[in-house]
Amino acid sequence: MATVAGNLFELAEISALRLTDIQLPEAFADTYPGPAYGPGGTLQLAGVNDRPMIGTIIKPSVGLSPDDTAALVDQLIEGGIDFIKDDELQANGPHCPFEERVREVMRVINRHAERTGRKVMYAFNITGELDEMRRNADLVESAGGTCVMVSLFSLGLAGLSAIRSHVRLPLHCHRNGWGIYSRSPDIGINFPVWQKLWRLAGADHLHVNGLSNKFTETDETVVQSARSLGQPISATHGYQAMPVFSSGQTAVQMAPSLAAIGHTDFIYCAGGGIMGHPGGVAGGVASLRQAAEAAASGIPADEYALDHKELAEALSHFRAPDEPQGKR
């Protein structure tokens, strides 16, 4: 990175410069292990087959205690969720200490797993100093957890590589801060560059934003980012990572998301799309599963909704008033 995106950006003669792609020599992939799980290992660990993983984000950073967080996890699991993640702003805050949060959340997850035989994946945010991250990753694993989360730009490539060499769980990687490098059309580094390096360093899941998102990114670049995670790092190393769609996602965007990347091996995170569903959490999760079933079967969402109440409610509630039926 120092070579291809270092002082070149500081040259006085240049007023606009973007790094749009990078080709890595085979020696890089020979040196770094890449993702330990990727899409296939993640789906197997989560017990999900032939459909996207339905997920959500809990916001303990707004004041939820460990008990509050665990109670919400209980409600989400009862509703049929596959995946839950910490917010990127929540790591080890005073109102929701990491160790206590892990203990209370895993108590709920393990109880449901013993009853159903299916363990929901929770990505605990371990972002912090390196020794702290190692300790927290070990804590999650010893409690029976199946995923940890890191904020990529807080760790850096060396930090991600170091935690990859230690942790034995999937690494859910959040790219918060990427807007600094991508938002300007004149200066920056495109996602296809970063994601190759992050995959090389061990990222199993990578956020790619979402269609019709709340941020500034266009649908075109979201799709480009999601597709890029399936492209091989080199001639002999695949190193695929799992796309994570999030940011204002509901059942409405499920079909175009699936169509855009052409497969179901992704995580689809919805906050309001689940919590804000007229049927509550269970209705929100059901609507997303039904939307995925329809899309995977090539059935228009509105047609499938005729016999699926939760999907019908979601399309009516979340679709923009001026958006014609059938657009998605």
The token pair that represents 193 in the structure block: 């560059």
- Provide the pairing of β-strand 121-125 with 205-207: unpaired
More confident residue, 286 or 328: 286
pLDDT in tens, 27-41: 999 999 999 999 999
Q: Which amino acid is at 149?
A: M
Asked whether 119 and 109 are in contact (CB, 8 A), the reply is yes
- Predicted local confidence at residue 60, as pLDDT: 76
Distance CA 165, CA 243 (A): 22
Task: Assign 99 to helix, strand or coil.
Answer: helix
Residue 307 lies in a domain: no
Give the residues across from 268 on adjacent strands: 54, 245
The token pair that represents 61 in the structure block: 């950073």
Residue 184 lies in a domain: yes
Residue 5 lies in a domain: no
Which range marks the domain in which residue 160 is found? 32-211+221-271
DSSP state for residue 319 in the 8-state scheme: S
Residue 27 lies in a domain: no
User: In this structure, what are the phi and psi dihedrals at residue 245, rounded to the nearest 5 degrees?
Assistant: -85, 130
Residue 286 lies in a domain: no
Summarize the chain as % helix, strand, coil (round to 5): 45, 10, 40
Mean pLDDT, residues 310-317: 98
Task: Return the beta strands (E) in 111-240 as ranges.
Answer: 121-125, 148-151, 171-174, 187-189, 205-207
Residue 284 lies in a domain: no
For residue 85, how far is the Cα from the chain centroid?
A: 8
- Predicted local confidence at residue 232, as pLDDT: 94
Is the per-residue pLDDT at 189 higher than 70?
yes
- Predicted local confidence at residue 315, as pLDDT: 97
The token pair that represents 245 in the structure block: 């769609």
- Predicted local confidence at residue 320, as pLDDT: 78
The token pair that represents 246 in the structure block: 């999030």
- Predicted local confidence at residue 205, as pLDDT: 98
Give the residues across from 171 on adjacent strands: 148
The token pair that represents 171 in the structure block: 């690494």
Instruction: Return the number of other C-beta atoms located less than 10 Å from residue 155's C-beta.
Output: 21
pLDDT in tens, 242-300: 999 999 999 999 999 999 999 999 999 999 999 999 999 999 999 999 999 999 999 99
Task: Assign 133 to helix, strand or coil.
Answer: helix
Write down the mean pLDDT value for the chain: 94
pLDDT in tens, 149-185: 999 999 999 999 999 999 999 999 999 999 999 999 9
pLDDT in tens, 192-234: 999 999 999 999 999 999 999 989 899 999 999 999 999 999 8
CATH (domain of 175): 3.20.20.110
Residue 292 lies in a domain: no
pLDDT in tens, 95-152: 999 999 999 999 999 999 999 999 999 999 999 999 999 999 999 999 999 999 999 9
Dihedral over Cα of 206, 244, 223, 218: its sign: negative
Asked whether 130 and 164 are in contact (CB, 8 A), the reply is no
Residue 305 lies in a domain: no
Q: How many domains does the chain have?
A: 1
- Predicted local confidence at residue 322, as pLDDT: 62
Q: Which amino acid is at 222?
A: V
Asked whether 244 and 261 are in contact (CB, 8 A), the reply is no
